[in-house]
Every structure is written in structure tokens, then in C-alpha cells.
Amino acid sequence: MQEKQTDMKNQKTTIYVNPINRMSAQGRHKQSFTIQQKTGEFVPTVGMQKNKEFGVPSEYSFRANVSTNKLITGLDKMVQNPYKDLEPHLIVEQNGLSQDWVKHLEYIVKQDQIKLQTQYEIIDNVPYNHYTNEITGSMFSSNWKANLEKPRNFLESFKIILYDRPNEFSDDTPRGRLSIMLIKNHPKIAANKTMANAAVHDWYISEENEAAIEKLKKRDIIEDAVWKWGNLKQKTTPYIVYQVASLLKNNDGNPIVKGKMNDITVRNQISDFINDSTTYQLDNIEKFNKLYNMVTSDKESRQRFESMYLVQQAINLNIIGVRDGFYVWHSKSSQDNIYKHTTYDALVSTIQREFLNYNPTETDISNWYKDLLEEVKNKGGWVEN
């Protein structure tokens, strides 16, 4: 039973809250905003608020939803119950809880889902409902002065301070967990850099080592592709290398190799394609990996590869053209079932089916793969049986 409980204290997540550059060529950094309490809308103000000044720390609390008289904490989110079917006294013992929890746990262990608030209260060893989002009193009620004198609940008094630098928060402590919930539910803090708007937000969230992780992932992808390229050169023939090159297309859809080229030139073209330092590099690598996998995997994939190559040679040599969105085999104009194809994939699939029935020794049998092969050969295309 004990194994079912999720030990969140051992699962550390770190985020950073970064200041947003307030300068704007359009002057938006000079515009301040206020939030309508009832609607939550951002409303521009004139001279009512002062922009966050550089070097001055900012203090934030959980925002209130006046219409519901509750704090916006995110802790009311329902999560999978890690305590379901456990014995209440074991949960109390494992988490050092007071005996007051037993009556609540008798209900909790029967539920499939519980509030995140409840899970945090258990792992943080605080009283039941200690993290309530209920507001002690409303300043809009008739006795608002008396409400202001009431003691605040824990989350009403909870605050974080952000400085003009990356601010680190980890969820391995009770305060860290609550800080992250405040950060993720505050309208002045954008969920990420892409969503950050200097006219609305003062901060944005980034994951721990976000840039370094992305750089490492990209490097791993590049290194894997370079290894595959080296393997392809060493373990296949110049013809197969040429086939791969002729099927690789740059970002404008044109093959990187077309017509007769020597092996050194072909290899240089593929190397340049893989090591392209522009924004297209990962797209290029994805295209190369797809062809590499076709060459080195099962028989059916290799047949598809051969059919694609033959079709591409036919297109390069204008044996097959593109007209009004159709792929047209010019010499087959009298045969409706092969003359025109709606898509490239449909054409390749047709040739692949014919390839399965192709027998080079049977010269008197009609076969569209054989016909296309002969036309490509006659026009000087490089094909090997």
C-alpha cells in the first residue's frame, strides 16, 4: 500500500521568473494598466500607476476574484488521488500529520481525485484546509471595516518578492510550491517568453536551463544525423548515396542533386544539407533521417525508396510533368488509369505496386514500372537494376 503514495518532495522542479524589457519603440512601455476586479480585464490608465522601475523589487500576492470572494491560487485543480485506498493511519504516520486529519482522510482515501490543495496540505504537514482560497472578508460588504480587522488566512498573507534578475523557485519546499502556484496564476507574469507582452506583463517564466536543454537536444539530433551520414557513406555504394541526394529537397522543394554529378560533389551536397546552419537544419535532418531509415530498414521500405527515386528521375527528365495540380505521365496519355495522378504519393504507390510484379526477364509482359524504368534509361537517367 505504501508504494502507491507519490513522494512529491523527491521530485524537484525549478523555474525562473525573468524581468521583461519594458522599452518599446511604440511607447507601450509608458502605458500602465489596471485590472477590473469583477471582469478580470486589463484596462489602460492615464497617470494612475507608475511603471516598475529598474532595480526596485516587486511584491506579489495571490490575486482575488471579487465575484467569488476567493483567491486565484490554482490549488482547486483536481488531480489523481495518490492516497486512494490507503489506510488513513498510515498516511498520518508517513507524513507526520496530526490526528485531526484522520476524519478527513477517511473520506479522502475513497476518492479518485482530490484537490491539489489537499495534496499539498498533506505533504507539507499543515492542518486540513490551511491552504484555503476563501477570503476572510470582502471589502465590498456592508461591514467591510470589521472584515479588514479580521486575521488574514495563510494564503491571503502569502507574498513573494521578485528582483530585476532571474528569480529562482523550486517546488521542493512548501514555500517554493506555493510561490510557483502564485507565479503561474498571476496576470503580471507571462507563462513563457513567447507569450510575454511588455504592455501587460512585467515578468515571464522559463524552465531550468531551458536554453541549454534545447541546445543539447539540437546537438544530439545533429550528431545522430552526422553518424548516420557517415554510416551511409561507408556501408553503401555511390549509387545509393546519389539516390538519397536526389530525393533530398531544400526548403523551396527543389532536389539538392539533379542530373549527372561526380561522387565527391554529391557527398558534399548531402554534407552541406545536414550541416546547414540556417533555421532549416532540423527540417533537413528530418528529411535525411526518413530516407536513411528507408534504405536501412525492411524490404517494403526499400521498395518504396526505389519507387520514389524512379519517379523523381522521371520528373527531373520531364517524363512526368505537373499540370493543373496533377502528375501527368506524358507518354501514357491514352491510358486514363496511369496517365494522371492527383498526388505524388498516389503516383509512387502505383509504381511501387508495379515494382512488386516486375521481372526483368519477362520482356513481353506489360508493367508500368518497367515502362517508366525504360523511359528514364533512354533519357540518360542513372538507374541500376
Whole-angstrom Cα distance, residue 250 to residue 243?
Answer: 15
Cell for 168?
529562482
Whole-angstrom Cα distance, residue 102 to residue 46?
Answer: 54
Whole-angstrom Cα distance, residue 340 to residue 330?
Answer: 9
Regarding beta strands 189-190 and 70-71, do their DSSP bridges make them parallel or antiparallel, or are they unpaired?
unpaired
Q: pLDDT at position 34, please? A: 43
- E strand segments, 6-88: 14-19, 32-35, 42-45, 58-61, 64-65, 70-71, 78-80
The tens-digit pLDDT sequence of the chain (385 residues) is 344 554 555 567 889 999 987 554 344 444 444 444 443 344 444 433 344 555 679 999 999 998 888 999 999 999 999 999 999 999 999 999 999 999 999 999 999 999 999 999 999 999 999 999 998 865 455 555 555 566 789 999 999 999 998 899 999 999 999 999 999 999 999 999 889 999 999 999 987 666 667 778 889 999 999 999 999 999 999 999 999 999 999 988 899 999 989 999 999 999 999 999 888 999 999 999 999 999 998 888 999 999 999 999 999 999 999 888 899 999 998 898 899 998 999 999 999 999 998 888 887 788 899 999 999 999 999 998 6
Tell the burial category of 21 from Cβ atoms under 10 Å away from its Cβ (0-12, 13-18, 19+).
Answer: exposed
Cell for 83?
492516497
